[in-house]
Amino acid sequence: MCWTEEKSFMNFYSFSGGCLQLVGLITAGFLSAKPIPLTTDGSNKRDPAFIDGGTTLVYGVDENRDLIRLWQIDLETLETKPYYESANRHHVEVAFSQDGRYVSYTECIGNLTAQFVIKDLVDKKDYFVKHSGRGGTRSPAFAPDNSVVVYAFAEKGPQQLWSVDMEAKNKKQLTQCEGISNWPSFTPDGKTIIFSNTRENNYEIYSMDAGGSNEKRLTENTIMDIRPVVSPDGKQIAFTSLRNGFYNVYVMNIDGANVRRVTDSEERDDYPAWHPDGKQLAIVSERKGKFDLYMVKVPSSGKITANP
Amino acid sequence: MLDFGNFKTRDCENGIGRRSFLKTASALPFAFGAGYGGLDLEAARKLGDRAKAKSVILLWLWGGPSHIDTFDPKPDAPMEYRGPFGVIPTKTDGLQVTELLPQLAKRSHLYSVIRSMQTTNGGHPGAGTVGLTGYEENPTVHPNFGSIVSKHRGRSGALPPFFYLGQGIPRDLPRRIEGYGGGTLGKAYDPFLVSCSENGKVGIPTLDLLSGMTPNRIHDRRRLMAQLDDTSRTLEGAGVAGWNQAHHAAYGLLTDPKARDSFDLTTESQSTRDAYGQTSFGQSCLLARRLVETGVPYVQVNWSEYVETFTPNGDFGWDTHIYNFELLQDRHCPIFDRAFSALLDDMNSRGLLEDTLVIATGEFGRTPKISNRAAREHHKDCYFSVWAGAGIQPGRVIGESDKRGEHPVTEPITPLMMGTTIAELSGIGARERAEMNVLDGGKIIHELL
């Protein structure tokens, strides 16, 4: 038995004779908040993203000491394979449009030089976002209607949020912030962008209108709150925070209220990605020095562990 | 798990080939040169008894880690300097570190931090040479600190006295650093290179000469030597000159059970291996502990071979001209924080910190002012080093940088002072240094002791 949305949280698997064997089982109604492992190879992983209706997870992995590639895992079989078999350059910061038509990532094309790629998987065309000089784009996010893709880039000083259309045209700078802005995430209606910024001495989470106005601060503490991701229903934000001394994953309401701790480990839990069902997250967790993908249930209620 | 080139753990019929010998012979000065000639072991032993540091582990953070984003945060500096990371307290009064180092923050009672390091060179290969030798590359390449210790201590048993743990000689894309090895002391004091994968698989890349060899055939020493001698007669060139010493060294390394065991990380408990993290750097730190445990005097653990942090086929050095904050947060600092913490814990619990000096530093720091690319560039005027173990008074902050971390406001501490202190703690006093003609003019960092 494998991991599925219906059977989630009580599936187990083990290695035997070098082969992955899924020893499954389940108990409907008995949902554990304990993270369930999807991979066991332990390689450093990052940026998971669901595709194909939540049946496949794409993620970056340190494949060897000198190559970061995108891999995918089939959540029915837990089989893994490279997302682009022939890729031989670092591919990082992957994102997909909600309808699956577009994928974007940053590709290393030279020393300290990266290009931002938008691939139209239907028309099979590639578009490249141009900025002057060397540097790297970060954290792309597609608008729900595929009107723009928003990303972070530092062109002349503070790192700002920018947008381009699906053909990498009509580039616009959305923010005029001090500090470093990163990790944009759209609400489902496309009207609001959630992101992090460092103007207050460390990463805090903010919201703004999709055009860049009406900014509001959602978190406030002395430690980083990073990688905010809006839930599929637009009501919650998952994010990573060090507020309890360790990298853990939290959720809060879209307005910053009702912060709940999702994971509770002294090792790292990071990179939350909402499953399309809105009830669970894929995360990258470090356990015993190994980095693997896990699924974890989002508490619908529970102890509020910190004020926003 | 051992992987000496293509050395096989099972018998097979293939013998050594001329091609593999040629490949190895060309690499001999680096691969095998670590101090095999005319050493007064008895004298070294006596001096060693006197020294506080029987061994040294240098964690070489190649590429130049940002001091502001790690051990010298400036939370009150203007936004364009201070960076995005919060600060957290440590067990040491006056020492805050960034939130990227939570494990090391809890262990600050085991180490002291120097915040006023300063070097003379702002380029990687040049600064690498200064950082590892104390001097600029020109006009003379001085010996690596490890080579000095290596010459002084000599070799005990089958293991060479000076190891490099990493994939190759530290370099940037254009060239390697010159101060990697013996310098004026000669190639005989170059380090012995060993790699260690994230799974703890140990390899000696330059031992490809053993392609197809098996334990049984290696134990057939006369046959091996005859093969090598036959092959060497067909060769010319400087690489062959050192072969006689070199193949003895290789032979000893591969056939000495104690030497072989020191490379076998599978004999460690899984919990110990886990503690260091499943990364090449983490497992290399564990291997370093095993090597000093068996008496190796000097181990340099190289974070990476290449300085470049984001380049095709690069191995993610600390040269974060782009993605400084992202890579420090997502990759470099978590790996370093875990591995260094595990090393300190492990060494401390085994009593090895009593007589092992452990240092972590790079060749320089990074610009306090954040660049137009939201990253940091090279900064030679101020950086950090971390010291623990043999003779070091832990729990101290030594030196101070200015409000923006641009310059020391106390006396700058230089790589030459670092090397002199390493030498002194290793039992290489002023007289011995003068006799070796090394570290001339160097001062000891007394604040550490």
CATH number of the CATH domain containing B117: 3.40.720
Q: What is the pLDDT of residues A52-92, one digit of tens each?
A: 999 999 999 999 888 999 999 999 999 999 999 888 899 99
CA–CA dist B410, B116 (Å, integer): 7
Of B322, B321, B83, the closest CA to residue A199 belongs to B83
Phi-psi region of B309 (alpha: psi -120 to 50; beta: other; left: phi over 0): alpha
CA–CA dist A11, A35 (Å, integer): 11
Is B272 among the domain residues? no
Q: Give the number of A-B residue pairs with CB atoms closer than 8 Å.
A: 120
Task: Give the per-residue pLDDT at B14.
Answer: 35
Taking an 8 Å cut-off on Cβ atoms, the answer to whether B99 and A223 are in contact is: yes
Count of domains forming chain B? 1
Q: H helices of chain A, where?
A: none
Interface with A, mutate which of B278, B319, B369 (most A CBs under 10 A): B278
Residue B102 touches partner A, C-beta closer than 8 Å: yes
Which residues of chain B lie closer than 8 angstroms to A105, CB-CB? none
Which segments of chain A have a pLDDT < 70?
Answer: 1-33, 301-308
Residue B313 touches partner A, C-beta closer than 8 Å: yes
Of B88, B278, B313, the CB nearest to A42: B278
Residue A42 touches partner B, C-beta closer than 8 Å: yes
Is B373 among the domain residues? yes
Taking an 8 Å cut-off on Cβ atoms, the answer to whether A245 and B331 are in contact is: no
Structural contact between residues B209 and B21, judged by C-beta atoms closer than 8 angstroms? yes
Is B323 among the domain residues? yes
Residue B205 touches partner A, C-beta closer than 8 Å: no
Task: Give the per-residue pLDDT at B219.
Answer: 53
Q: Mean pLDDT across chain A, nearest whole number? A: 87
Shortest CA gap B145–chain A (Å): 27
**Searching chain A, which residue's CA lies closest to the CA of residue B167?**
A65
Domain of B390?
Answer: 55-157+175-187+281-448
Structural contact between residues B239 and B25, judged by C-beta atoms closer than 8 angstroms? yes
Structural contact between residues B119 and B179, judged by C-beta atoms closer than 8 angstroms? no
Residue A211 touches partner B, C-beta closer than 8 Å: no
Q: Name the one residue in this structure whose structure tokens are 């000469």.
A: B209
Task: Give the per-residue pLDDT at B229.
Answer: 54
Task: Give the per-residue pLDDT at A27.
Answer: 32
Task: Give the per-residue pLDDT at B258.
Answer: 79
Of B79, B85, B311, the CB nearest to A224: B85
Q: What is the pLDDT of residues B340-399, one digit of tens each?
A: 999 999 999 999 999 999 999 999 999 999 999 999 999 999 999 999 999 899 999 999
Which residues of chain A lie closer than 8 angstroms to B173, CB-CB? 111
Task: Give the per-residue pLDDT at B22.
Answer: 33
DSSP for A22-88, written as a single string: EE----TT----S-EES--S---EEEEEEEGGGTEEEEEEEEETTEEEEEEEETTT--EEESSTT--
Taking an 8 Å cut-off on Cβ atoms, the answer to whether A43 and B80 are in contact is: no
**Searching chain B, which residue's CA lies closest to the CA of residue A199?**
B79
Of A252, A198, A197, A201, the closest CA to residue A222 belongs to A201
Residue B377 touches partner A, C-beta closer than 8 Å: no
Taking an 8 Å cut-off on Cβ atoms, the answer to whether B326 and A66 are in contact is: no
Is B6 among the domain residues? no
Partner B, chain A 107-146, Cβ-Cβ below 8 Å: 108-112, 114, 133-136, 138
Which residues of chain B lie closer than 8 angstroms to A90, CB-CB? 310, 312
Structural contact between residues A160 and A154, judged by C-beta atoms closer than 8 angstroms? yes
Structural contact between residues A181 and A197, judged by C-beta atoms closer than 8 angstroms? yes
Shortest CA gap B277–chain A (Å): 4
Interface with A, mutate which of B269, B322, B333, B341 (most A CBs under 10 A): B322
Task: Give the per-residue pLDDT at A200.
Answer: 87
Which residues of chain B lie closer than 8 angstroms to A290, CB-CB? 274, 277-278
Residue A245 touches partner B, C-beta closer than 8 Å: yes
Write the CB contacts of B305 (distance below 8 Å, at least 6 apart in sequence). B62, B166, B167, B168, B169, B170, B171, B315
Is B215 among the domain residues? no
Is B150 among the domain residues? yes
Is B170 among the domain residues? no
CA–CA dist A190, A146 (Å, integer): 9
Is B274 among the domain residues? no
Residue B85 touches partner A, C-beta closer than 8 Å: yes
Which segments of chain B have a pLDDT < 50?
Answer: 3-50, 222, 235-242
Which residues of chain B lie closer than 8 angstroms to A136, CB-CB? 310, 322-323, 373
Q: H helices of A105-233, where?
A: none
Of B86, B334, B374, the CB nearest to A180: B374
CA–CA dist B287, B292 (Å, integer): 9
**Searching chain A, which residue's CA lies closest to the CA of residue B173?**
A111
Interface with B, mutate which of A44, A64, A94, A111 (most B CBs under 10 A): A111
- SS3 state at A211: coil
Taking an 8 Å cut-off on Cβ atoms, the answer to whether B88 and A89 are in contact is: no
**Searching chain A, which residue's CA lies closest to the CA of residue B315?**
A66
Residue B407 touches partner A, C-beta closer than 8 Å: no
Taking an 8 Å cut-off on Cβ atoms, the answer to whether B372 and A157 are in contact is: yes
Of B82, B321, B374, the CB nearest to A201: B82
